[in-house]
Amino acid sequence: MILTEKLIAQIGDHLRQKRLTKNLSQADLALRAGISRRTVQAIERGESISLSNFIELLRTLDETEFLQSFADTPQISPLMLAKHKGKMKLRAGKAKSLPPSGEYLW
């Protein structure tokens, strides 16, 4: 599994390459995205930025393909919704405790 810091650095590198491919300076990208140049510098250095700023950068660089997976929610028919209404999970349950000996039972 990739560490969060490493993944953020990889995303920053990818965004930098996309920016350069489009021949944009950091200041130009920031202006078009409606964010500060410091924010662009931060993500390109592998630092965390807000999700809303990240989305604005993706939109400005035309890199929103993967966001579609969040927008494409499966449509449930009204009949199926009514049928499963009482069964839909609204909360996470409590974690199960370990056996007294501290060993897992498989």
So where are the chain's domains?
4-62
How far from 17 is each of 29, 31, 52, 76, 84, CA to CA, in Å? 12, 18, 20, 40, 47
- Band of pLDDT at residue 104, cut at 50, 70 and 90: low
Q: Which fold has domain 4-62?
A: 434 Repressor (Amino-terminal Domain) (1.10.260)
pLDDT at 84 over 80: no
The per-residue pLDDT for 101 is 60
pLDDT at 14 over 70: yes
CB-CB contact of 25 with 31 (8 Å): no
The per-residue pLDDT for 93 is 76
- With a threshold of 0.75, does the pTM exceed it? no
Q: Which carries the bigger pLDDT value, residue 101 or residue 70?
A: 70
